[in-house]
Amino acid sequence: MAKVVIIGAGLGGLAASLRLRHAGFEVTVLEKQTRFGGRCNLIVEDGFRADTGPTILVMKGVLEEFYRSVGEDLHRRLELVRLEPNYRLYFHDGSQLDLHNSMAELANAAEMLVPGAAPRVFRFLGDAATKYELAMEFVTRNYRYLTDLINPKSIGRLLRTRAYQNLYAQVGRFFENNDKLSKAFSFHSMFLGLSPLESPAMYSLITYADLALGMWYPQGGMYRLVEDLVQLAEDKGVILRANAPVAEIEIARGHVTGVRLTSGERVSADIVISNADLPYTYRHLIAPAWRGAYSERRLERMRYACSGYILFLGVKKTYAELPHQSIYFAGDYRANLEAIFHTHTLPEEPSFHLNHPTATDITAAPPGHSLLYLLAPMPNLQGNRIDWSSAASVVRNRLLDILERILDPDIRQHIVWERDYRPTDWLRDVNAVHGTAFGSLAHDFFQSAYFRPHNKSYEVAGLYFVGQGTYPGIGIPMVIISAGLVAERILREWP
Ligand SMILES: Cc1cc2nc3c(=O)[nH]c(=O)nc-3n(C[C@H](O)[C@H](O)[C@H](O)COP(=O)(O)OP(=O)(O)OC[C@H]3O[C@@H](n4cnc5c(N)ncnc54)[C@H](O)[C@@H]3O)c2cc1C
């Protein structure tokens, strides 16, 4: 059987290693960092255990199918807890909305906030369900030709769902342009690193997936998923090496021959799959002669997703009323998004995701303590307009000022442990292009599906890609699907 080297042990690399090992390939994974998991990582310190990346599992069925495909049962290996509510939303004027996963409770909560909203919620969800159903066909396939995406059937679907329209505007039409409800049912595109004001309406399918299929937390934290995949890979004979940064993909006469590590060591291979950020792979690991369509100029002109700033707080106090997840919307939401996506400046008032894992899992903090994780979307490092060595404390204080207002006026006095994670940290730790957080390439129409970089090099035989940089894209379910797609392609091409 062919010998496979995978560069990077993110969730995409780990899942691909398991798929291919299960099919009989000899697989080695080379990871630059000391700890596996890539963007899904961990800080353990002073009794606090904080996930540094993803906080929640969505589209659980994708993970269930993946485990089945390698002969395992997800639910025998991880204990998943369903969140209720999915989120509490805090608006600038002090009002709140809980996004319940019971549709009746959700409609009721929306009705309390905006009289007359209940039937509109159902209408919105019905439309989003259709988008979800139709889009999944484009998410779960390998592309080769433009006609795989654009054909009479798909054009019919696009027109039927109006998925090409603007997300925020379309959601607004369901809710008579009520500002709070428009935000409440469109903010999810931020998790693709994309502004709701600019996202295609297609991505209301994420809102639907969250609400209808549920949001899940693995007991013990998100990093339990990485630990479990690593354990499975080792048990099944995948060779996993940490502290093994790759410097170059070696190519001879149009075929990969292996990789060279920064240490100078060479590892030979018939097939190389890069799980590292795709634009980084082209720019740093592939010699210019073999980059094909991905010239320096094209890579620079691609649209990159946003970054983020995370503030981790260990607090000597518990918050019984605070749910697992909340979102705070800045008063001037448009200015907030403009700063992140256009002027690349520090938002005056950040919107943020407030994660409270100790609501579900008391093992994330010492007894009597809470763990809080505040993730504020931020500009990526393009243009280098922000000096993070000084900006970090500014953002920290802005976030704490808001927490004082919405959660606890004395929060600062109760903080006993604190860490942060900045755009420059993603660049350093995972070679994230421009320090992007959730994934590198933005999900606009011309960087989605067929238009997203393909999972195979058409110039170099034996060179493939997996993870958020290729299709379908950003987020755990998508990178797990990408592992299935690249394995399917390799099995077809390397019978
Ligand atoms: C703050 C945050 C919150 C998120 N929240 C969620 C969430 O709640 N739910 C969800 O579904 N998704 C979430 N995401 C998105 C999700 O985590 C990512 O899209 C996904 O983990 C990306 O996985 P990947 O395998 O594609 O890439 P990565 O995780 O980026 O893995 C790439 C790996 O390649 C390694 N590498 C890079 N260069 C080299 C080299 N030269 N040699 C060797 N190794 C190399 C890196 O170190 C890394 O381990 C979140 C992400 C972040 C950052």
Q: Can you give the pLDDT at residue 396?
A: 98
Q: Can you give the pLDDT at residue 317?
A: 98
Q: Can you give the pLDDT at residue 133?
A: 86
What is the percent of the chain where pLDDT is above 70? 100
pLDDT at 68 exceeding the cut of 80: yes
> Counting atoms of ligand 1 from 1, which one is nearest the CA of 30?
43
pLDDT at 495 exceeding the cut of 80: no
Q: Can you give the pLDDT at residue 186?
A: 93
Q: Which of 196-205, 284-293, 394-403, 481-490 has the lowest mean pLDDT?
A: 196-205
pLDDT at 431 exceeding the cut of 90: yes
Place 258 in a pLDDT band, splitting at 50, 70 and 90. Answer: very high
Direct distance between the N- and C-terminal alpha carbons of the chain, in angstroms, rounded to an integer? 9
Euclidean distance between CA atoms 115 and 456, whole angstroms: 51
Region 23-42: what's the mean pLDDT? Answer: 98
Q: Can you give the pLDDT at residue 149?
A: 81
Q: Can you give the pLDDT at residue 355?
A: 98
> Counting atoms of ligand 1 from 1, which one is nearest the CA of 426?
53
pLDDT at 201 exceeding the cut of 90: no
CATH code of the domain occupying 3-40+221-302+440-493:
3.50.50.60
Q: Can you give the pLDDT at residue 440?
A: 96
Q: Can you give the pLDDT at residue 219?
A: 97
Antiparallel, parallel or unpaired: β 255-261 and 266-268: antiparallel
| Most confident listed range (1-5, 99-103, 274-278) | 274-278
β-bridge partners, 327: 89, 353
Substitution candidate for ligand 1 out of 59, 434, 476 with most atoms within 8 A of CB = 476
**Which residue in 183, 194, 249 sits closest to 436, CA to CA?**
194
Domains of the chain, by residue range, sit at 3-40+221-302+440-493, 84-214, 306-430
Region 383-399: what's the mean pLDDT? Answer: 95
Q: Can you give the pLDDT at residue 480?
A: 98
Q: Which of 85-99, 180-194, 420-434 has the lowest mean pLDDT?
A: 180-194
Q: Is the CB of 305 under 6 A from ligand 1?
A: no
Region 222-236: what's the mean pLDDT? Answer: 98
Q: Is the CB of 357 under 6 A from ligand 1?
A: no
Q: Is the CB of 58 under 6 A from ligand 1?
A: yes
Q: Is the CB of 307 under 6 A from ligand 1?
A: no
pLDDT at 135 exceeding the cut of 90: no
Q: Which residue has the higher pLDDT, 160 or 62?
A: 62
The overall average pLDDT reported for the chain is: 95
Place 259 in a pLDDT band, splitting at 50, 70 and 90. Answer: very high
Q: Reduce the secondary structure of the chain to three states and give it as a string.
A: CCEEEEECCEHHHHHHHHHHHHCCCEEEEECCCCCCECCCCEEEECCEEEECCCCCECCHHHHHHHHHHCCCCHHHHCCEEECCCCEEEECCCCCEEEECCCHHHHHHHHHHHCCCCHHHHHHHHHHHHHHHHHHHHHHCCCCCCHHHCCCHHHHHHHHHHCCCCEHHHHHHHHCCCCHHHHHHCCHHHHHHCCCCCCCEHHHHHHHHHHHHHCCEEECCCCHHHHHHHHHHHHHCCCEEECCCCEEEEEEECCEEEEEEECCCCEEECCEEEECCCHHHHHHHHCCHHHCCCCCHHHHHHCCECCEEEEEEEEECCCCCCCCCEEEECCCCHHHHHHHHHHHCCCCCCCCEEEECHHHCCHHHCCCCCEEEEEEEEECCCCCCCCCHHHHHHHHHHHHHHHHHHHCCCCHHHHEEEEEEECHHHHHHHHCCHHHCCCCCECCCHHHCHHHCCCCECCCCECEEECCCCCCCCCCHHHHHHHHHHHHHHHHHHCC
pLDDT at 7 exceeding the cut of 80: yes
Q: Can you give the pLDDT at residue 12?
A: 98
Encode pLDDT of 334-377 as tens digits: 999 999 999 999 999 999 999 999 999 999 999 999 999 999 99
Residue 438 CA to ligand 1 centre (angstroms): 7
Q: Which residues of 258-267 are buried (b: 16+ CB within 10 A; e: fewer)?
A: bbbbeeeeeb
Nearest CA to ligand 1 atom 45: 8
Q: Is the CB of 479 under 6 A from ligand 1?
A: yes
Q: Is the CB of 314 under 6 A from ligand 1?
A: no
Q: Can you give the pLDDT at residue 144?
A: 86
Encode pLDDT of 282-321 as tens digits: 999 999 999 999 999 999 999 999 999 999 999 999 999 9
Residue with tokens 């484009």: 138
Residue 237 CA to ligand 1 centre (angstroms): 23
Place 70 in a pLDDT band, splitting at 50, 70 and 90. Answer: very high
Q: Is the CB of 9 under 6 A from ligand 1?
A: yes
Q: Can you give the pLDDT at residue 427?
A: 97
Q: Is the CB of 10 under 6 A from ligand 1?
A: yes
Q: Can you give the pLDDT at residue 8?
A: 98
pLDDT at 393 exceeding the cut of 90: yes
Q: Which residue has the higher pLDDT, 73 or 1?
A: 73
